[in-house]
Structure 1
Amino acid sequence: MTRTVDLNADMGESFGAWTMGDDKALLRVVSSANVACGFHAGDPDVMAATMAEAAGNGVGIGAHPGFRDLQGFGRHRMQVPAESLANAIRYQIGAAQAMARAAGAELRHLKLHGALANMASEDEALARLCYDAALSVAPELIVMVLAGTAQERAARGLGCLWAGEIFADRAYNDDATLVDRRLPGAVLHDAAEVGPRIRQMLEEEAIITASGKRLPAAIDTICLHGDTPAAVDLARALRRELEDAGIAIRPVTGRRD
């Protein structure tokens, strides 16, 4: 049986006259797109254009909600009252649903962004709050979780469809969380390094941390950040590496276990 995996990228993060990333090029490589919903980045026009391009390329469309933090690109840790945060998630999911349907597609998955995602990887109650809010709007969404973290525990506890995610271009701590972006080596840029590293993780079914530790993980989808300068080259190199290994690239599908 052929092994399959999803390649996803965060995109739709331009805003007005400000352009972030090469979404059109990425959408010819990845199989799932996590589209910003206007809080940390993106706007209605950018959402519409990104989703139309994704639909035209047969790429699965997902919502990428975060904190209301345009200035900080959603990377400022914020303390938001629970009900306000839940409503912010619902608001962003609703916008993503509407734009996807206008593009002739459906919203398939959810992936938290930035600081909110990092906080949810450490705090199961926070992750559950966010996922429960999203599922109250779209019960069949596939929840992309940072594999091996509190996000995964929350999704399992909710009994929803979920998919385990690893990052191609980020280094890992020994607890499966991501190395802080401010630290040296946290973000990987070398395409020659990224492909073999991810292939090894898939073969071992484990996250390989910066210290060399192996953490067994359910790996269903691999993320590349669309805002890094080498994103397109990394995506192409990674896809080539995986396909050469006989691994097929397909839009994410969820599991319930």
Structure 2
Amino acid sequence: MATIDSSRETGRTLIYRHSLAVRLSHWVNVLAVTVLLFSGLQIFNAHPALYWGQYGADNDPSFISMEAVDDSGQVKGLTHVGLLTFDTTGVLGLSNVDGEATARGFPSWLTLPSYQDLSTGRRWHFFFAWVFVLNGLVYFSYGLVSRHFHRDLAPTVNELTLAHLTYEVVNHARLRFPKGPEARHYNTLQKLTYLAVIFLLLPLMIATGLTMSPGFNAVAPWLLDLFGGRQSARTIHFLTAFLLVAFVVVHVAMVILSGVFNNLRSMITGYYAIKQGGKQ
């Protein structure tokens, strides 16, 4: 890892933390995932219910659904999760569109396009799905060739001990972030989280997305058996997408809390600043 010692002028040391390939793939993913999320919610709105199994006909019970219902002359938005029902009027099931209450799974400000258009939503989703996949292949190839996964993301045996993991969890809960030399590398929680996202969550989301395609089913019909049917694949795809959203929310929160300018600079220029005395 390259280091620029600028302590005399600024009292800090700049380390080269992120390579160009990592930075470019990161920002392409930011764009692709954003469009995929909003267009995916547009697709979901065409039938805002999730099922398990091969079929999802009207009489099959769903375990997650959103709907607008007339309750004694008052229209409400309801969200069903298993046996539980929540009044989500104004957000889920029923939201305002151009000043009028309209039945929609997710509100218009969360979908791409904002108006109800399944065809356009699918085109946006499929195009950026390929952008996402190709970008992921480039990043994965770089990670193997440069040993990025082994050098930067693979935790050591000592880092996987219960005592060390407990120590890091407690520090994160107290918002105590690595300082000085420790800040030169990802901590263990970051490594494990990134590995889980890269090698489990994203492949699962891509595979279930392909399983929903009848054209791809002709090429790989075994995917339907693997995920228990197209409706099961759709449900897993939806849930993994929101796990990814949860990861992004936590990731952004940690970036802000641990020093937004320093973190953004490192993901734009590659250089991360560590001040003398172990303070960032």
Same fold (TM over 0.5): no
Q: Which has the higher helix share?
A: 2
Query: What's the TM-score once normalised by structure 2's chain length?
Result: 0.21
Query: What's the TM-score once normalised by structure 1's chain length?
Result: 0.23
